[in-house]
Structure 1
Amino acid sequence: MGKVKRHIQWMMFGLIIGVLVGILEVIFGKVLLIATNIRINYFMILIFFLPIVGVFIKWLYSVYGKESNKGMTLLFEVGQHTREAIPARLIPIVTLSTWLTHLIGGSAGREGVAIQIGGTFTNWFSNHVWKDFLPSHEKKQQMILVTGMAAGFAGLFHTPIAATFFSMELLAVGHLSIESLLSASIAAVTSSYVSQFLGLAAFSTTIDYYPKLTIQWVILLCLLGCVFGLVGRIFSISLHKVKGWVQLIQLPIYKKMFFLSLILMIGLIVAGRGRYSGLGSNLVEAAFHGGTIYSFDFLLKLLFTVFTLAIGFQGGEVTPLFSIGATCGVFLAQLCGLPVEFLASLGFVSVFSSATNTLIAPLLIAGEIFGFDLLPYAFFTIIASYIINNNDSIYPKQKV
């Protein structure tokens, strides 16, 4: 009877977190879409505010953010039991900073921020509101965190199955936080449905053509996976390297941010007048709906996203990784005379797998976004991509 009671308590917790985090993600996501639309319409005006906003974000974190500047690292520390609480101020600061980054033309994502919102809110809620209603467990803090991260990812992206397993496998390579499965899955499904009910849209499409899975195609898929894995690994390594180089620049913090933002501003204007700003959703749409994709699109999106995040603007990496993978897939399809949308979908999930050093979630994303008929093909590219990344990850605190 005690076991049943514990299960019910975690189920109720997952349900409540799913509703509350789903609402938070709708607010975050809808304002972000408004900011994106404003930037698209007024790019050549707003882009000139990039250095000023960059300095403001640095000031905001320096004066009010304190530990919040560590971002995802805080979640890893809680999940790995090296700290207990995440400062609640992280939510408004990272949310506002991400909105501003997208409004004035920075190249960044959103899912990483959504995970931070979900994880931070759930950590605060469990410590201040629901503290006496959860059963004791040796991994209680980790279970709470994984539940919140799953709700955050699912609320914004509408892939509850992938969100559950992404959160469970993210903290440590090769290890699933299986204790979190019940509450995390309920939170993810609930958050996804709340988000959809409140009108937050998410990307999905179907692939019309699948080749016959012969031995030749298996070999080709593995080779393609190696290329995608290399791209994801380059992204991860570049992000850490550029962050390190930025720290070595001997200038006052605000002056450094101003001049680096100035370089970013000029680059974004010269390279396509905002083509590589924001999430990269424009590139994803072009990849899957017959739009124009250039052979260098994935490289420039990679470059601008790395530079934007490395110098101190806020946002996630995941959606840019999807656009980098999709456009890389289009390039390879055009180069080799292969089905364009088919390879774009494989690049979409495989580059993500490599950069995040995750295996199960990318497979499930392939199914939830493109249809589960893609899984036999994505299986080979994702495995190859995952192996080729050599445990390099965009998350430096991920336990290997």
Structure 2
Amino acid sequence: MGKIKEQAQWIVFGLIIGIIVGVLEVIFGRVLLFVTGVRQTYFMWLIFFLPFVGIFIEWLYQTYGKESKKGITLLFEVGQDTREVIPLRLIPIVTLSTWLTHLFGGSAGREGVAIQIGGTFTNWFTEKIWNRFLPNYGKKQQVVLVTGMAAGFAGLFHTPIAATFFAMEILVVGTLSIESLLSASIAAVTSSYVSQLLGLTVFSSTISVVPKLTVGLVGILCLFGIVFGLVGRLFSIGLKKVKQWVQAISLSQYKKVFLLSIVLMIGLIIVGKGRYSGLGSNLVEAAFNQGTVYSYDFILKLIFTIFTLAIGFQGGEVTPLFSIGATCGVLLANLFGLPIEFVASLGFVSVFSSATNTIIGPLFIAGEIFGFELIPYAFFAIVLAYLVNGNDSIYSKQKV
């Protein structure tokens, strides 16, 4: 009877977290879509303010953010029991900073922010409200955190299965937080449903042409997986190295941010006139809708995203990783004479798998976004991408 009561409490907890985080993600996502539209319309005006926005974000974190600048690292510290509380101010600060980054032309994502929103709110809710009624929940910080992260991911991407397993496997490589499964899955499904109910639109695509799975094709899929894995690894290593380089520059933080933002601004203007700003959704749409995709799109998006985040602008890495993988997939599809959408979808999930050092979440993303008939094909590419990444990850605190 005690076990049933505990499970019922986790179900209620997951429902509450799913509803509230779902609403928060809708607000974050809808404003982000709005500022993206504004940037696309007025790019050549807004981009010139990017260095000043960089200074403002730096000031915001130094003045009010305190520990919040550690971002998603705080979630890993809680999940690994090296800290207990995530400051609630992280949510408004990272949200505003991400909106500004996208409005004024930075190249960044959103999913990392969504996970921070979900994890931070759930941590606060548990500490300040839930524990008053059920004090034992404070002893299960990892379950609480995974529940919030799953809700955050699902609320923005509408992929509740992938969100659940991604949140369960992200903290420690090669392990699943099985104890979190019930509350995380309830929260993810609820958050996704609330987000859809409130009208947040997300990307999805049904792959219309899927080749017959043969021994020869399996070999090609494995080759693709190696390429995608190396691209994901390049992103992870590049982000780490460029952050170290920026940190080592012997200038004041404000001067550093301002000068590097000018370099970023000039690059974004000269190379593509904003093509590589924002999420990379334009590149994903081009990859899956027979648009123009250049052979160098994936590497330029990789470079600009790394540089944007290393300077100190905010946003996630995941959506840019999707666009990097999809455009790299278009290049490989043309080289091997395979259907473009098919290979682009494999790149979409495999580069993400490599860069995040995860495997189950990306596999379910393939199913939930592109159709579950893709999973047997995605399996080979994702597994190889995961194996060749050398345990390099965009998450510096991820346990190996």
TM-score interval, normalised by the smaller of the two chains: over 0.9
- Tell me how far apart the structure 1 counterparts of residues 253 and 378 of structure 2 sit (CA, whole Å): 44
Q: Which residue type is aligned with residue 212 of structure 1?
A: K
Q: CA deviation at 1:138?
A: 8.7
Q: Which residue of 2 aligns with 1:14?
A: 14
Q: Which residue of 2 aligns with 1:390?
A: 390
Q: CA deviation at 1:139?
A: 5.6
> Is the contact made by 1:119 and 1:145 (CA closer than 8 Å) also made in structure 2?
yes
> Is the contact made by 1:60 and 1:93 (CA closer than 8 Å) also made in structure 2?
yes
Map of 1:66-215 to 2, 5 A cutoff?
Answer: 66-134=66-134, 136=136, 140-215=140-215
Q: Secondary structure at the match of 2:136?
A: coil
- Tell me how far apart the structure 2 counterparts of residues 23 and 338 of structure 1 sit (CA, whole Å): 41
- Tell me how far apart the structure 1 counterparts of residues 240 and 134 of structure 2 sit (CA, whole Å): 38
Deviation track 1:225-265 (CA, whole Å, cap 9, x = no partner) reads 00000000000000000000000100011011000000000
Q: Which residue of 2 aligns with 1:263?
A: 263
> Is the contact made by 2:131 and 2:137 (CA closer than 8 Å) also made in structure 1?
no
Q: CA deviation at 1:336?
A: 2.0
Q: Secondary structure at the match of 1:306?
A: helix
Q: Which residue type is aligned with residue 284 of structure 1?
A: V
- State the aligned residue count: 400
Q: Which residue type is aligned with residue 323 of structure 1?
A: S
- Tell me how far apart the structure 1 counterparts of residues 139 and 336 of structure 2 sit (CA, whole Å): 49
Deviation track 1:65-109 (CA, whole Å, cap 9, x = no partner) reads 000000010000000000000000100000000000000000000
Question: Does residue 40 of the first structure (1) align with residue 37 of the second (2)?
Answer: no
- Tell me how far apart the structure 2 counterparts of residues 135 and 14 of structure 1 sit (CA, whole Å): 16
Q: CA deviation at 1:27?
A: 0.3
- Tell me how far apart the structure 2 counterparts of residues 388 and 44 of structure 1 sit (CA, whole Å): 40
> Is the contact made by 1:169 and 1:358 (CA closer than 8 Å) also made in structure 2?
yes
Map of 1:269-288 to 2, 5 A cutoff?
Answer: 269-288=269-288
> Is the contact made by 1:9 and 1:135 (CA closer than 8 Å) also made in structure 2?
no
> Is the contact made by 1:325 and 1:350 (CA closer than 8 Å) also made in structure 2?
yes
Q: CA deviation at 1:281?
A: 0.2
> Is the contact made by 2:131 and 2:138 (CA closer than 8 Å) also made in structure 1?
no
Q: CA deviation at 1:136?
A: 2.6
Q: Which residue type is aligned with residue 226 of structure 1?
A: I
> Is the contact made by 1:18 and 1:189 (CA closer than 8 Å) also made in structure 2?
yes
> Is the contact made by 1:9 and 1:133 (CA closer than 8 Å) also made in structure 2?
no
- Tell me how far apart the structure 1 counterparts of residues 336 and 213 of structure 2 sit (CA, whole Å): 17
> Is the contact made by 1:9 and 1:134 (CA closer than 8 Å) also made in structure 2?
no
Q: CA deviation at 1:19?
A: 0.2
- Tell me how far apart the structure 2 counterparts of residues 201 and 187 of structure 1 sit (CA, whole Å): 19
Deviation track 1:306-361 (CA, whole Å, cap 9, x = no partner) reads 00000100000000000000000001111222211100000000000000000000
> Is the contact made by 1:279 and 1:319 (CA closer than 8 Å) also made in structure 2?
yes
Q: Secondary structure at the match of 1:130?
A: helix
> Is the contact made by 2:126 and 2:138 (CA closer than 8 Å) also made in structure 1?
no
- Tell me how far apart the structure 2 counterparts of residues 384 and 21 of structure 1 sit (CA, whole Å): 34
- Tell me how far apart the structure 2 counterparts of residues 163 and 137 of structure 1 sit (CA, whole Å): 22
Deviation track 1:157-204 (CA, whole Å, cap 9, x = no partner) reads 000000000000000001100000000000000000000000001110
Unaligned runs of 5+ in 2: none
Q: CA deviation at 1:390?
A: 0.9
Map of 1:288-327 to 2, 5 A cutoff?
Answer: 288-327=288-327
> Is the contact made by 2:126 and 2:137 (CA closer than 8 Å) also made in structure 1?
no
More displaced, 44-53 or 210-219?
A: 210-219
- Tell me how far apart the structure 1 counterparts of residues 13 and 370 of structure 2 sit (CA, whole Å): 31
Deviation track 1:104-133 (CA, whole Å, cap 9, x = no partner) reads 000000000000000000000000011133
Q: Which residue type is aligned with residue 136 of structure 2?
A: S
- Tell me how far apart the structure 1 counterparts of residues 103 and 209 of structure 2 sit (CA, whole Å): 37
> Is the contact made by 2:43 and 2:274 (CA closer than 8 Å) also made in structure 1?
yes
Map of 1:49-68 to 2, 5 A cutoff?
Answer: 49-68=49-68
Q: CA deviation at 1:134?
A: 3.6
Structure 1 vs Structure 2: percent identity of aligned residues? 76
> Is the contact made by 1:325 and 1:344 (CA closer than 8 Å) also made in structure 2?
yes
- Tell me how far apart the structure 1 counterparts of residues 337 and 198 of structure 2 sit (CA, whole Å): 42
> Is the contact made by 2:242 and 2:307 (CA closer than 8 Å) also made in structure 1?
yes
- Tell me how far apart the structure 1 counterparts of residues 206 and 324 of structure 2 sit (CA, whole Å): 19
- Tell me how far apart the structure 2 counterparts of residues 85 and 139 of structure 1 sit (CA, whole Å): 12
> Is the contact made by 1:6 and 1:135 (CA closer than 8 Å) also made in structure 2?
no
Q: TM-score, normalised by structure 2?
A: 0.99
